[in-house]
Amino acid sequence: MDYGTTYLVLAVIFGLFMAWGIGANDVANAMATSVGSKAITVKQAVIIAGIFEFAGAILAGGQVTSTIRKGIVDVSGLGATPEILVFGMLAALLAAGTWLLIASMKGWPVSTTHSIVGSIVGFAIVGMGMNAVYWGKLGTIVMSWVTSPLLAGVIAFMLFRSIQKLILDTEKPLENARKYVHYYVFLVGFILALVTIMKGLKHVGLDLSMGESLIAATVCGALITILGKYMVSRVKFDPDADKDFHYANVEKIFGALMVLTACAMAFAHGSNDVANAIGPLAAINSIVMSGELSQNSPLPIWILFVGGVGIVLGLAMYGRKVMETVGTKITELTPSRGFCCTLSAASTVVLASGMGMPISTTHTMVGAVLGVGMARGISSINMDVVRGIFMSWVITLPIGGVLAIIFFYILKAFFG
């Protein structure tokens, strides 16, 4: 590798750019319901995400990253020319990062997973030929555009209807909130622990069986319920507040609990989606260090740091626009509605992981917000915003692919 150090420096810069895009778009969208429902401020969201996304990325972000993310392309034919894969991975990082920057500027919540997948497919077609792409795998990803928001929307709809029935539409909403809310908190702890175990901790070499995962998640759920009880006990209720808005005190309870869901969602997200930025970086590092292709390369801790730092910077510098779109423009969110969104998005991630479906946290969160909106009637949803979001989803794969092809040829001409 004549330009080994140059490739690695470029890979770190492009990987940082891609991670920045994940922070500005994907993390912003994971935090959007907490900010949109006014449970936390933008500044608090940045601090929470900064700590928990970073912790998720470092602790559970992938001890061994397979060279090609999610088995999208077959690299076995590149044995004699590993530099083709280096150009391709650099092009994919740059292409996906560029599209995430454009989408974030427009305030569109797009899928970082689909951005990187589209980019890898684009370079593979021109760099290795059509046969190198696993087209069946790509088909399941396109299917997930429909299945993941639909599943999250249905779960969010049912969750919010249950809160309406048990708490909001009763004569004593505050009493009932105190009575039932702990069951919802247990569900938060249980589901988010499962997300982390199933999507994150496998990378650390902690591969638990289904039974062990369920036991660990139950213990986490119990601990978070205790923490939730403590947080609710600290809430100051104002009897006069309910005169202006019948559910003011009930929403205060859900507001306190949303801080918990925001922390847990950030950790689960960091453990899962940091791989989109560092997967290609790890592949390039492995080729530069060994001079050959290896399907499984040990992942140095500094690569996880690059991913974690980029994600936090992206959210802090440019996360506000996507937070506004998902948190305030689709439908009006209160803490109880936001709580349902986060919980159903996390539940969908767990179910999809268990079934081996490729999933996008972005699509599930938007689907969940739509589901909560539907529970209040279709008129409460801003359909213009929804149409714009769906359009941005459809064009993510092809745009990633086209950009990657352009960057691939530029890099090849420059270094080749």
Residue with tokens 């779960």: 155
DSSP 221-252: HHHHHHHHHHHHHTPPP-TTHHHHSTTHHHHH
What does residue 330 show for φ and ψ, rounded to 5 degrees?
Answer: -75, -50
Element (H, E) at 395: helix 383-415
Distance of CA 383 to the CA centre of its chain: 23
Quote the CA–CA distance of 339 and 254 in Å, as a whole number. 7
Closest CA to 229 of 263, 265, 181: 181
CB atoms within 10 A of CB 325: 23
Residue 254 burial by Cβ neighbours in a 10 Å radius (0-12, 13-18, 19+): buried
pTM above 0.75, yes or no: yes
Quote the CA–CA distance of 310 and 13 in Å, as a whole number. 10
Render each residue's pLDDT in the chain as its tens digit; 416 residues.
578 889 999 999 999 999 999 989 888 877 888 888 888 888 888 888 888 888 877 776 654 344 344 567 887 777 667 888 889 999 999 999 999 999 999 888 898 888 988 999 999 999 888 888 888 888 877 787 788 899 999 999 999 999 999 998 888 888 899 889 999 989 888 987 887 777 656 656 667 788 888 999 999 999 999 988 888 888 888 877 776 667 888 888 898 888 888 887 787 777 767 777 888 888 888 888 877 766 566 678 888 888 888 988 998 888 888 888 888 888 888 889 989 998 888 888 777 766 666 677 888 888 999 999 988 888 888 989 889 888 988 899 899 999 999 999 999 999 87
Residue 376 burial by Cβ neighbours in a 10 Å radius (0-12, 13-18, 19+): middle
Supply the DSSP symbol for 128. T
